[in-house]
């Protein structure tokens, strides 16, 4: 079945540091890929998405490129801020698996220190 | 557009009691999903509705769980004879069939604690 593996956390960085959170996936078809973010006390929010190979999703300074050859969708940001502290989830959706459900990774907790 | 809402936000119940949660999706969204999230894990799919039809249920959804979406608008998730293992955050999400169905919008969740 489909699965998503994320880099284990927690990750702690200083403000303005470069961020990479690794995400790899296993899927039988050609899934859509997503990053969701969960800020403290809030619900999951869609951060960015990519629907086919080589697509780059971007939002709020974050980027991720759909790499079919390495089955990866790593999240990057050039200069993080304290307000980026949150839990980040990589997810995939594959219509061949029936319902358009999302399959999530376990999440990576990110803390940015001033 | 007020987003996805869920009620209650927190529920504490004793083992063996029944609980019911409500989800109100974004009004124009015809697809509605329930997920369960335990501490330190990502959300896991429970069930999915397209309009009022329940089209898929996960194996995680035991016979004690039932979900409805009677008029294709709000949905309820009921857990009968709760067990301590049911303690989790229950998330509802909705999406539009005319856009990427995986672009799901989540509510704040209902945190269930079974004592």
Between B29 and B13, name the one with better pLDDT: B13
Q: Which two tokens stand for residue B85?
A: 């293992």
Q: Which residues of B touch A (CB under 8 A)?
A: 4, 31, 33, 35, 40-45, 48, 55-56, 91, 93, 95, 100-109
Residue A70: predicted pLDDT? 95
Record: contact A44-B43, CB cut-off 8 A = yes
CA triplet B10, B49, A100: central angle to 5 degrees?
100
CA distance, residue B50 to nearest chain A CA (Å): 10
Q: Is the peptide bond before B91 cis (omega within 30 degrees of 0)?
A: no
Ranges of beta strands (E only) in B1-115 are 5-7, 10-13, 19-24, 31-37, 44-50, 53-57, 65-68, 75-79, 88-95, 105-106, 110-114
Residue pair A42/A49 in contact (Cβ under 8 Å)? The answer is: no
Q: Which residues of chain A have pLDDT under 70?
A: 95-99
DSSP A20-58: EE-EEEE-SS--EEEEEEE-TTS-EEEEEEE-STT-EEE
Residue B67: predicted pLDDT? 96
Model pLDDT for residues B50-66, shown as the tens digit of each residue: 999 998 888 888 899 99
Using a CB-CB distance cutoff of 8 angstroms, which residues of chain A are in contact with residue B31?
100
Using a CB-CB distance cutoff of 8 angstroms, which residues of chain B are in contact with residue A7?
none
Residue B71: predicted pLDDT? 87
Residue A2: predicted pLDDT? 86
Model pLDDT for residues B22-46, shown as the tens digit of each residue: 999 999 899 999 999 998 899 999 9
Residue A96: predicted pLDDT? 57
């Amino acid at each position: 079945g489909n699965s998503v593996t994320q880099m284990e956390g927690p990750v702690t960085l200083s403000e303005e540091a470069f961020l990479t959170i690794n995400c790899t996936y296993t899927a039988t078809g050609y899934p859509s890929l997503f990053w969701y973010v969960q800020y403290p006390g809030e619900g999951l929010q869609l951060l960015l998405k990519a629907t086919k190979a080589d697509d780059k999703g971007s939002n709020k300074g974050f980027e991720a490129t759909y790499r079919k050859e390495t089955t990866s969708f790593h999240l990057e940001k050039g200069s993080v801020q304290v307000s980026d502290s949150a839990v980040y989830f990589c997810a995939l959706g594959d219509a061949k698996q029936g319902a358009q459900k999302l399959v999530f990774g376990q999440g990576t907790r990110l803390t940015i220190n001033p | 557009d007020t987003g996805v809402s869920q009620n209650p936000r927190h529920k504490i119940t004793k083992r063996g009691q029944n609980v019911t949660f409500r989800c109100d999706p974004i009004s124009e969204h015809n697809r509605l999903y329930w997920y369960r999230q335990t501490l330190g894990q990502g959300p896991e799919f429970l069930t999915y509705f397209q309009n009022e039809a329940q089209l898929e249920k996960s194996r995680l959804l035991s016979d004690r769980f039932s979900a409805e979406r009677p008029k294709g608008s709000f949905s309820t998730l009921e857990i009968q004879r709760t067990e301590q293992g049911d303690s989790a955050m229950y998330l509802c999400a909705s999406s539009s069939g005319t856009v990427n169905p995986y672009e799901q919008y989540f509510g704040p969740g209902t945190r269930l604690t079974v004592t």
